[in-house]
Amino acid sequence: MSVKNEYNKRVVIVIASIAATGGLLFGFDTGVISGAIPFLQDFFELTDSQIENLTALGLIGAVVGALVTGRITDYLGRKKVILASAFIFATGAIWTGLAPTVTQLMISRFYLGLAIGVSSFAVPLYISEISPTKIRGTLVSMFQLLITVGILVAYLSDNAFADNSNLESWRPMLLVGVIPAVVLFVGMFFLPETPRWLMSKGHEEEGEKVLRRVEDPSLIDNSMVAMRRDLAIDANQAGFREIFKPWLRNALIIAMGIMFFQQFVGINTVIYYSPKIFLAAGFEGAEAAIAASVIVGAVNVFFTIVSLFVIDKLGRRKLYFIGLSGIAIALVGMGLGFMLPGAGKWFLVVSMLVYIAFFAISLGPLGWLIITEVFPTRVRGLGSSIGSLSNWGFNTLVVWTFYKMASAIGSAKDVVVPEGSDLSDICPGCVGSVFWIFAFVALVGLVWGYFYIPETKGVSLEQIEEHWRQGKKPRHLKK
């Protein structure tokens, strides 16, 4: 994490930390709903399918948010879009927390989802463009770190506010989200736009000023030359047509592919369903399950911190292969854990923690980092929003099909799954088999990664653009 100029280092860390609060909101708002659901269900007398809709509306909001704001981020700037998302986060937290009717709850959840979708690409994009090349990976990983902190805080605050004698316990759980939203809004207000976006809009002097505050002094002149050159070439190349041109095909495949594998190794079935998974594995009582979720959350945070220290040292490719191999092995272990009687539950828990640890050092941060690195400046907003969109789309698909896959395997094995039942009613072996399917996906991801994961460590964003222009392969990118 060494930067020659200590002053730069401090400024940059402050900038990245404030922006990364967007990650905290992302994690908090996706995580908080699981603890609120039992209370919402009783308070509004919701059916199971209304609960499913409520969860899905948040995800659909995120997809829509990412879909419509990509180009706006290139047009209006990264900072304004993040400010807008902070505003939606704050008002959305109040709206969901005070929602008087089910309909308002649903609409406000969708509204919050919009902010999640927007911030999930605009924040890492902002950090990536404002970071010195040398520590770009570490700083963007702070975004992932705060996602995991947000998930953990959501579990803890759900626990703290859960009061069985108060049906409205869900209200404070949701309202707490206002605090980080205000921090993001106020902090972001005082931060500069990124040098790259400023330059792309012709504000060269301002862009250079920001660059001088953040970049290693010995790299500034070269960076300015490279930025000017790329922007001159890119001048007429913004928008949808450009991004689908052959020279950017690999960038698109990489952004969508890494998000495919990030989601299809089943991360959110573990995050969202972990209490149920623990019950299905034979643990008893909701409390044990929630405590187990807190442990999952803490391991996630801890290993994301580890990733901050290694991502700019080991590089992206090594981390991807180490991480995904660990994930595949842990998934096989989880499957076995469901199938073994007795001691199986401890085997399951250990495998799940190993799984989380490997995800946290690799696919978690790498997904959000790489989507901001592979596109040229003028379409970087649009490109990373496509990455984010893929993330939310694949996420929805996996979460929706998890239960269905498990029960389909159950039916194939002639295990009767009662109507309207949930995961804990499905035969553990059937749930376990789904984890083996995820393990297979991880193996495919290893092969895909060999061809498509670029080593962007220490390479400037401008050099990456140059690499595509020359029609070179992703795996040949090197410092």
Q: Could you list the residues that contact ligand BGC (CB under 6 A)?
A: 144, 147-148, 151, 262, 267-268, 271, 300, 364, 367-368, 391, 395
- Nearer residue to ligand BGC within complex by CB, 8 or 148: 148
| Three-class SS state of 224 | helix
Task: Tell the smallest beta-carbon distance from residue 57 to ligand BGC (Å).
Answer: 17
* Contact present, 391 and 263 (Cβ < 8 Å): yes
Task: Tell the smallest beta-carbon distance from residue 148 to ligand BGC (Å).
Answer: 5
Task: Tell the smallest beta-carbon distance from residue 31 to ligand BGC (Å).
Answer: 8
Question: How far, rounded to the nearest angstrom, does the alpha carbon of residue 252 sit from its chain's CA centroid?
Answer: 18
Task: Tell the smallest beta-carbon distance from residue 26 to ligand BGC (Å).
Answer: 8
Task: Tell the smallest beta-carbon distance from residue 438 to ligand BGC (Å).
Answer: 14
Task: Tell the smallest beta-carbon distance from residue 358 to ligand BGC (Å).
Answer: 12
Full DSSP string of 52-111: HHHHHHHHHHHHHHHHHHHHHHHHH-HHHHHHHHHHHHHHHHHHHHH--SHHHHHHHHHH
Task: Tell the smallest beta-carbon distance from residue 471 to ligand BGC (Å).
Answer: 31
- Nearer residue to ligand BGC within complex by CB, 20 or 224: 20
Question: Which distant-in-sequence residues (6+ apart) come within 8 Å of 235 by Cβ?
Answer: none
Task: Tell the smallest beta-carbon distance from residue 230 to ligand BGC (Å).
Answer: 29
Instruction: Copy the structure tokens of residue 309.
Output: 């220290």
- Nearer residue to ligand BGC within complex by CB, 176 or 361: 361
Question: How far, rounded to the nearest angstrom, does the alpha carbon of residue 253 sit from its chain's CA centroid?
Answer: 18
- Per-residue burial over 160-170, b if 16 or more Cβ lie within 10 Å, else e, is ebbeeeeeebb
Distance CA(85)–CA(422), nearest Å, equals: 34
Side chain identity, residue 374: V
- Nearer residue to ligand BGC within complex by CB, 97 or 367: 367
- Nearer residue to ligand BGC within complex by CB, 393 or 454: 393
- Nearer residue to ligand BGC within complex by CB, 67 or 147: 147
In Å, what is the CA distance from 264 to each residue of 153, 322, 336?
Answer: 25, 17, 19
Full DSSP string of 116-165: HHHHHHHHHHHHHHHS-GGGHHHHHHHHHHHHHHHHHHHHHHHHHH--TT
| Three-class SS state of 268 | helix
- Nearer residue to ligand BGC within complex by CB, 128 or 200: 128
Q: Which residue has the tokens 């301002």?
A: 206
Instruction: Copy the structure tokens of residue 65.
Output: 């948010």
Task: Tell the smallest beta-carbon distance from residue 391 to ligand BGC (Å).
Answer: 5
Phi-psi region of 342 (alpha: psi -120 to 50; beta: other; left: phi over 0): left
Full DSSP string of 366-420: HHHHHHHHSS-HHHHHHHHHHHHHHHHHHHHHHHHHHHHHHHHHHHHTT----TT
- Nearer residue to ligand BGC within complex by CB, 409 or 423: 423
Residue nearest ligand BGC (C-beta atom): 364
Question: Which distant-in-sequence residues (6+ apart) come within 8 Å of 80 by Cβ?
Answer: none
* Contact present, 433 and 235 (Cβ < 8 Å): no
- Nearer residue to ligand BGC within complex by CB, 367 or 454: 367
Task: Tell the smallest beta-carbon distance from residue 40 to ligand BGC (Å).
Answer: 21
Task: Tell the smallest beta-carbon distance from residue 271 to ligand BGC (Å).
Answer: 5
- Nearer residue to ligand BGC within complex by CB, 77 or 297: 297
Q: Enumerate the H helices of 162-177 as residue ranges.
A: 170-175
- Nearer residue to ligand BGC within complex by CB, 151 or 224: 151
